[in-house]
Amino acid sequence: MVSSTLEEPLDWPDATVAGGNAVDVVDRLKKQSEVPLRSHGSLSMNRALMAAGLVDRVQVTLFPVITGQSGADPIFKGAADFDLELIDRRTLDGNIQELIYRPDLHG
């Protein structure tokens, strides 16, 4: 886990804290890991990882709602532009769609 605020010991089994620049940490871990890494955290960190070319898959889960009045800011506002290649998809409950993409920096 990359964090500038958490300290060990953590309540999660088999979890450790890595400090420093998230892009450098993830780059090092990707080279060392035999299993795929997942990120469920910070939007700014995920944007930086995508811009550095460290993201192999983007999972988008579509919920069938429209939040025209109550929606938050766009998730990738201000991020780099990427082309997305659909590599997998599934329907979770008849309505919710899970889409897996391979990102490629547009440029």
10 lies in some domain: no
Residue 74: asked if its preceding bond is cis (omega within 30°), the reply is no
Residue 19: per-residue pLDDT: 81
7 lies in some domain: no
33 lies in some domain: yes
72 lies in some domain: yes
- Residue 73 clears pLDDT 80, i.e. is over it: no
Rounded to 5 degrees, what are φ and ψ at 56? -95, -25
What is the number of structural domains in the chain? 1
71 lies in some domain: yes
pLDDT of 17-50, one tens digit each?
Answer: 888 888 999 999 999 989 888 887 678 888 889 8
13 lies in some domain: no
Q: What is the pTM of this model?
A: 0.72
86 lies in some domain: yes
Compute how many other C-beta atoms are within 10 angstroms of the C-beta atom of residue 102: 15
101 lies in some domain: yes
Rounded to whole angstroms, the Cα distance separating 11 from 62 reads 31
Q: Quote the domain boundaries for residue 83.
A: 22-105
**What is the CATH classification number for the domain harbouring 68?**
3.40.430.10
Rounded to whole angstroms, the Cα distance separating 78 from 37 reads 24
Per-residue CA distances from 70 to 43, 63, 65, 82 (Å): 20, 15, 11, 27
pLDDT of 61-70, one tens digit each?
Answer: 888 877 777 7
- Of the CA atoms within 13 Å of residue 89, those in its CB half-sphere come to 9
